Chain A
Amino acid sequence: MTKPIDLLQGTLDMLILKAVSLGPLHGYGVLLRIQQISRDRLEIQQGSLYPALYRLEHQGWIASEWGESENKRKAKYYRLTAAGKRRFQTETDKWNRMADVIAGILSTTPEEV
């Protein structure tokens, strides 16, 4: 297994939005989901997850409500709001364009300049 890499600045929000876009999740669930999708290649500071969740909720991208977890415990579930969906879309587009550009730049060979 390769050593997990640290998150790029500002990408955690996007990952959270992606995670909850697949269905409502509690905080720990978000963590598990991201690790699962990334196949454990990303290292997420558990302590920084919650401030991000609170920030996204404060901005209105996600909403929360209390529900019951799989092992019968009270847990706070987050889901994507309509505004969050739009936001996620634009963020994804932006990220993809950016990644293309960066990848293009990085893959440039001396001959191409």
Chain B
Amino acid sequence: MTRWSRLGSWLRTILQRSRMENEMDAELRFHVEARADDLVRSGVTRQDALRRARLEFGGIERAKEECRDARGTSFIETLLQDIRFASRILRKSPGFTAVAVLTLAVGIGASAAVFSLVNAILLRPLPYPDSGRIVLPELISPPGVNLGSEYIPWGQLQFRMLTRDAHPFQTVSAFQNDSFNMTGAGEPTFLDGFRASQEFFSSLGVSPALGRAFTAEEDQPGQEYEVIISDRLWRERFGADRNILGRAVELNGYAYSVVGVMPAGFAFPRAEEMPSSFNFPEEPQLWVPLAIAAEPKPGPSELALIGRLTPGVTIQQAQAAMDLITKHAEEQDHRWTGWFNTRVVPLQRQVVGDTRRPLQLMLGAVCIVLLIACSNVANLLLTRALARRREFTLRAALGAGRARLIRQLLTESLLIAVGAGAVGILIAHAGIYFVKTLGPSNIPRLREVTLDLPVLAFALGVSLATGMLFGLAPAIGAARENLVDSLKEGSQKSGGSRISPRLRNALLVSQVALALVLVVSAGLLTRTLFQLLGADGGFNAERVLTFQLPLPTLKYADQDHIVTLFQNVLERLRAMPGVQSAGIGETVPLGGEGESTVIRTPDHPAASQKEMPFANFTIISPGYFSAIGTPLLRGRDFQETDTKDSMPVAIVNVAMERKFWAREGALGKQVGPGSTRYPLLTIVGVVPDVKHASLREETAPEMYVLYNQKPWPSMLNMRVALRTKAAPAGVTESVREAVHAIDPDLPLAKVATLATLVDDSMSQPRFSVLLLGSFGVLALLLAAIGMYGVISYSVLQRTQEIGIRMALGAQRHKVFRMVLGQGARLAAMGIAIGLVAALGVTRLMARFLFGVRPTDPLTFAGVSLLLLGIALLACYLPARRAMRVDPMVALKYE
């Protein structure tokens, strides 16, 4: 039945009900009036006649009620009656109702929030038409060669070879990130963008909202001066001018004309959606044609590919077709062997990428919370049903059918679940808002997350099922019971409760066990966070300001020009009163992955070209290490006396020294880029390993070279680091002025203190701790409520027994200890089971941990004690109550 037809039948029932009421009214009115007519005819006045007719008829309302009964009551009516009755019952015990509703609401809210995240991030298709066909053909490194990353960028030649062969794509495009300095319109702005070949937008299936995509003609060298901008750039920079098409803008000194504006929200590819080794910008703002030559020269380039599979082609078939292309390439030129291995990855999987595991962690945690909440409510309902056994037997004795009793209980559970659902929606909304605002920025598709109705329905369903299952069990039992016996015995010690304590205890033990698993996990993550906070990143983040200094390609075409600029900048910055030291480097600590390259070491010549080692290759200036606070371990730092005419020098990190010169030390050894076109450098110093992307990373070998000794790659995107004397925020403006005094067209990008970078790199683990920690606290709270409920009920049940014990001379503190002991035994069982479960679960968390083993005894012991303490605390109140039992009252009670 569809939702609408169901609604229709419900409405019909309601409408029918009111029609029947109306007809009944009309019929009875007719009767009275007809009788009155007859009386009038016999000579009575009209008024008198009506009065007499009514009197003769008797109680109209009672007749109506009997008519309704005779007709049979409708489902809806009984339901309304049930609901009225159930809400009266629930209102009578506000404590129970509040705890049950809140417990379930927390479970429903938390799980709805997390399932919404999972749904939006992992399950929902990407916001591109027919997105299942969009794939990333990735180039992967040869087996056994460690490049620091699995992926290697595509070359222009390879892309051409691919497009000329029989490839499995309807459209395929190459793209590469680039930075653009937009000048000539106000303050020079540094913009992240992409150079993309013609079929980029058609591969994604997205067209510009305004204007058009690139043409094939524009995707040729010399013709590429067309730009498509993002909706955001269009609004922020061009005031959403609809006449922008054809307008000229200056990018890196060249004149481009705007041909299109992308729809709002389009920003492909975002950094978070792509492998992190690509080092893509967070949110691209513009796209220009890639313009590869028809016959590109071999050589390194940094392309990534995106393709839309030909309709009907599966991933496996696409992979097979790509493997064939690989084979053709290797047959053509054996130098490709090993360097043309591809892997076709669905875009969806790539986007989800590394987020899958943290989300699974969250999913696991929230499932535990939901389980605890459900078992808690189950326990509450069981306890309550036991307390109400007499009521039910009485009602059964008075003639209530079993079905009717069960219906009544179901209605109560339903009401609780509905109330919990309503509160749960609020909690879920708050949770999603919380994740969106506090969550790490590298969660892909976070902006697409909304509260999902199906998800909410699922959570509500789970809680309803719990309510029904555990609300019903005692009702069935009660209805089956011998009425007379139950009534005679009284509710407190009747036979049926022999099974239930076992069930309730089992539920309680599992709650404690589940809570332990969750809190141990949260504890391990917390320790990880503290380990990270104390981790040595190889630098000192105090009072360091960093920014990027992207140079316009046209203006700074030759290296000498760049070196002079950097010298001037450094000189000016160092002359500023607030600056202690200043340096320039390709990267700053935790500012992102560095460039890695093939190197040669004459001491350890590689057997073949294929086996040449890799190392991070970082260009820096003198003063860089003192600016970022990296101490020199051995040898000397770069100095102003190292010039392009003096001996070429290098500094290496400890990881590199350990890898190549573990015994003899690196000082004085020679190393150079893979190509013999570049001279060998002499190692003059050794520094600690500096972390690039995260404090938990395994540092790769790294060599530092001097910016003024003709280093090999470009220096168009260098970073500046300043160690200041006071808080770095104070100097930002004067730094900007100092740079603009040298070249007013230079934009300062990514201005941030080093402390902020450290903080950002910590956002993911911190968020995990926050999330799992709050789930852990919830679990503890719920387990404590459960413990309190079970123990206080058992005290209530044993009041008479306790009274007898006391009358026979039991000491009060012994009674107190007895009750505490009961709780402690249950808690200990839960803890024991939980510890075993936690050992299994935490093994799966190993990759989230840093500096702490998954079986960390400190965490396990600490959490066990914590849980035991909370359990005892929860037993304290009921135990006190037991201690104060007055034997006389207890014995008279029955």
Residues B32-80 near A (CB distance < 8 A): 33-35, 37, 56-60, 62-63, 66-67, 69-72
- What residues make up the interface of B, taking CB atoms closer than 8 Å to A? 23-24, 26-28, 30-31, 33-35, 37, 56-60, 62-63, 66-67, 69-72
Given contacts A58-B72, A71-B37, contact A46 B30 (CB under 8 A): no
Nearest CB of chain A from residue B31's CB, rounded to whole Å: 5
Given contacts A69-B34, A71-B37, A74-B26, are A47 and B70 in contact (CB under 8 A)? Answer: no
A45-B58, A47-B59, A76-B23 as given contacts; A54 in contact with B31, CB under 8 Å: no
Could you tell me if B30 and A73 are in contact, using CB atoms closer than 8 angstroms?
Answer: yes
Taking a contact as CB atoms under 8 Å apart, the answer to whether B63 and A47 are in contact is yes
Separation of A73 and B72 alpha carbons in the complex (Å): 28
A38 to B554 Cα, complex, angstroms:
119
Interface band, chain A: 20 to 34
Shortest Cβ distance from A34 into chain B, in angstroms? 14
A28 neighbours in B (Cβ, 8 Å): 30-31, 34-35
A52 to B23, CA, bound (A): 16
Query: Whole-angstrom distance from the CB of B772 to the nearest CB of chain A?
Result: 61
Q: Mark A45-75, 1 if CB is under 8 A from B, else 0.
A: 1111011101101100000001001010111
Which residues of chain A are within 8 angstroms of B28 by Cβ–Cβ distance?
50
Within the complex, the shortest CB–CB distance from A70 to chain B, in Å, comes to: 9
Q: Chain A residues with Cβ under 8 A from B24's Cβ?
A: 50
B69 engages A51 (CB within 8 Å):
yes
Contact residue among A50, A69, A73 (Cβ-Cβ distance under 8 Å from B67)? A50
Instruction: State A27–B31 Cα separation when bound (angstroms).
Output: 7
How far is the CB of B673 from the nearest CB of chain A, in Å? 97
A25 to chain B, nearest CB (A): 12
| Bound-state Cα–Cα, A5 to B521, Å | 85
Q: List 29 A-B contacts (CB under 8 A).
A: A26-B31, A28-B31, A31-B31, A47-B57, A47-B60, A47-B63, A47-B66, A50-B27, A50-B28, A50-B63, A50-B67, A51-B66, A51-B67, A51-B69, A51-B70, A54-B67, A55-B70, A55-B71, A58-B70, A58-B71, A66-B23, A69-B30, A69-B34, A71-B34, A73-B30, A75-B27, A76-B26, A76-B27, A76-B30
Partner of A46, one of B26, B57, B67, B70: B57
Interface of A is mostly: helix
Residues on B with C-beta less than 8 A from A54 are 67, 70-71
For the complex formed, measure the closest distance between the CB of B57 and the CB atoms of chain A, giving whole angstroms. Answer: 5
Residue of B nearest to A75 (CB): B30
Q: Is the CB of A47 within 8 A of B62?
A: yes
- What B residues does A55 contact at CB under 8 A? 70-71
Cβ of A47: which chain B residues have Cβ within 8 Å of it?
57-60, 62-63, 66
- Give the Cβ gap from A10 to chain B, nearest Cβ, in Å: 14
Q: Report the minimum CB–CB distance from A24 to chain B (whole Å).
A: 14
- Cα A73 to Cα B58 in complex, Å, equals 23
Question: How many Å lie between the Cα of A31 and that of B31 in the bound state?
Answer: 10
- Complex: how many Å from CA A50 to CA B31? 10
Of A50, A74, A75, most buried by chain B (CB within 10 Å of CB) is A50
Beyond A51-B63, A69-B34, 19 additional pairs, beta carbon < 8 A: A26-B31, A27-B27, A28-B31, A31-B31, A46-B31, A46-B35, A46-B56, A46-B58, A47-B66, A51-B67, A51-B70, A55-B71, A58-B70, A58-B72, A69-B30, A71-B37, A73-B30, A76-B27, A76-B30
C-alpha spacing A76/B71, complex, angstroms = 16
Distance, CA A76 to CA B67, complexed state (A): 15
- Return A53 CB to nearest CB of chain B, in Å: 8
Complex CA–CA separation, A111 to B28 (angstroms):
54
For the complex, what is the distance from the CA of A46 to the CA of B59, rounded to whole Å? 10
Contacts of B23 in A (CB 8 A): 66, 76
Report A-chain residues with C-beta under 8 Å of the C-beta of B59.
47
